[in-house]
Structure 1
Amino acid sequence: MAKQSKKQKSLASKLGENQKLYGLGEALTLLRELKATKFDETVEIAMNLGVDPRHADQMVRGMVSLPSGTGKDVKVAVFAKGDKAAEALAAGADKVGAEDLMEDMQAGNLDYDRVIATPDMMGVVGRLGKLLGPKGLMPNPKLGTVTPNVTQAVKDAKSGQIEFRVEKAGIIHAGIGKMSFSDDALKANFDAFVDAIVKARPSGAKGKYVRKIGLSSSMGPGLKIDTTEVAGV
């Protein structure tokens, strides 16, 4: 990690001494002031939810399209044949195939951010369950990654659609953009992500649903966001 300036060290020290809640704009300003690296860090959100995902009726999972994109080059693999394979390639998929793609993945080539499949290819994809499942890459019709409309699925993945899934402790993590994004772009992504989580509230959630929201950069401190200032929470 790059060496911090005296100002950055002072700010970081003050942050560690209190439990202040920050407005989104103030938090973004502080993250920029504390940035000590040269690379374009990811801005990350963490939400503590009042759910226990061990229960099926308290699982929170879905997709959300970030209006400002992610700032990341998303690699997409598509299982399809014939015309659908051609459509996927035309839409910008990085790799398209059938049994040959399955064999390539079995050989260890799994450097993808999203795997999409047409319904007729699930017999082939199913044989990769033990490889794709643990990486969160297994195509799922509920998430729109098993679909005959491969053109739209590829475009969505490339343009800023991300998947979210609550972890065991009731926490959801996601990257919502880059430090190089403008405040307005990051705020738009923040609002879209929070709105998607609120709308995904499961039937089994009791009491307060969104308990805490934190914001950080890849190498920066975590800042607690004042949820009373967040619409819909």
Structure 2
Amino acid sequence: MAKQGKRLKDAYKSLDRDALLDLPEVVKSIKAAASAKFDETIEISMNLGIDPRHADQQVRGAVALPHGTGKSVRVAVFARNEKADEARAAGADEVGAEDLMEKIQGGWLEFDRCVATPDMMAIVGRLGKVLGPRNLMPNPKLGTVTPNVGEAVKKAKAGEVQFRAEKAGIVHAGVGKASFTEEQIVENARAFINAIAAARPAGAKGTYIKRVSMSSTMGPGLKVDPATATTA
């Protein structure tokens, strides 16, 4: 087990790590404990009652956070002609077709989101081994394979968060920064939790949202009461 630093140990002294707390109370405590010299990311993690190995128990999607993530998102777009112009006008950081594919094959990966028009997927498909493991492969279910590339770029830039349950049924994301107000973090977290609740797969049985916890990048983690997590 990794050793806890003195600052983290001190933070835990005044907190009950096992208590189930209302979301606003958790956010207040986490924000107060975020004392690093940089603007820490506020992270949320949810343990779901699913087995993602089964096709009917996968949880994947995207949600627009009301106040964004506080992170600058770099977007690469595969498109041609007027669609390429549309992507550039929307603020895409890199736009191309075969040239962009070759650039990525050469090792360039300086982007956080990849968008493509449907006609570009024959090219993008060649990058599956590169983009897939990094969760950068465009996917129509996530709205990143679309003829409306301008809208997709704007959503990414505005703070849309993609989520996907891991093998253990855990899904997590950053829902803001320590510099956000408590209200902004609560609203962002609520939007994410509600999106996960709405994405409940048909094959999920029993309790769907088992555990919810939040923390800052360098701070202590606290548990959110699942019974109150999805209330507006």
> TM-score, normalised to structure 1's length?
0.93
User: Is 1:175 aligned with 2:174?
Assistant: yes
**C-alpha distance in structure 2 between counterparts of 1:102 and 1:161, whole Å:** 24
Q: Please state whether the residue corresponding to 2:134 is helix, strand or coil.
A: coil
Contact 1:74 1:113 in 2 (8 A): yes
User: Is 1:95 aligned with 2:94?
Assistant: yes
For 1:150, the aligned partner's letter is: V
Q: In 2 relative to 1, CA 148–162 (structure 1 residues): closer, same or farther, beyond 3 Å?
A: same
- Is the deviation greater in 109-118 or in 30-39? 30-39
Q: How well do the aligned residues superpose, as a CA RMSD in angstroms?
A: 1.8
Contact 1:75 1:112 in 2 (8 A): yes
Query: Identity rate of aligned residues, in percent?
Result: 58
**C-alpha distance in structure 2 between counterparts of 1:56 and 1:200, whole Å:** 14
CA drift of 1:181 comes to 0.5
Superposed, 1:28-39 pairs within 5 Å as: 28-39=27-38
For 1:67, the aligned partner's letter is: P
**C-alpha distance in structure 2 between counterparts of 1:199 and 1:77, whole Å:** 29
State the partner residue of 1:223: 222
- Is the deviation greater in 21-30 or in 52-61? 21-30
**C-alpha distance in structure 1 between counterparts of 2:47 and 2:77, whole Å:** 33
Q: Which runs of 5+ in 1 are unaligned?
A: none
**C-alpha distance in structure 2 between counterparts of 1:179 and 1:11, whole Å:** 15
- How many matched pairs? 229
Q: Please state whether the residue corresponding to 1:211 is helix, strand or coil.
A: strand
**C-alpha distance in structure 1 between counterparts of 2:25 and 2:77, whole Å:** 41
Q: Deviations over 1:126-172 (max 9, x none)?
A: 11010000000111111111111111000010001111000011100
State the partner residue of 2:21: 22
CA drift of 1:3 comes to 6.7
State the partner residue of 2:108: 109
Q: Deviations over 1:4-60 (max 9, x none)?
A: 3xxx75441343x65111222221222133223110000000001000000000000
Q: In 2 relative to 1, CA 10–136 (structure 1 residues): closer, same or farther, beyond 3 Å?
A: closer
State the partner residue of 1:12: 12
For 2:184, the aligned partner's letter is: A
Contact 2:27 2:186 in 1 (8 A): no
CA drift of 1:76 comes to 0.1
Superposed, 1:142-161 pairs within 5 Å as: 142-161=141-160
For 1:126, the aligned partner's letter is: G
State the partner residue of 2:81: 82
Q: Deviations over 1:87-117 (max 9, x none)?
A: 1000000000000000100011112110000
State the partner residue of 1:129: 128
Superposed, 1:65-80 pairs within 5 Å as: 65-80=64-79
> TM-score, normalised to structure 2's length?
0.94
CA drift of 1:222 comes to 1.0
**C-alpha distance in structure 1 between counterparts of 2:73 and 2:192, whole Å:** 18
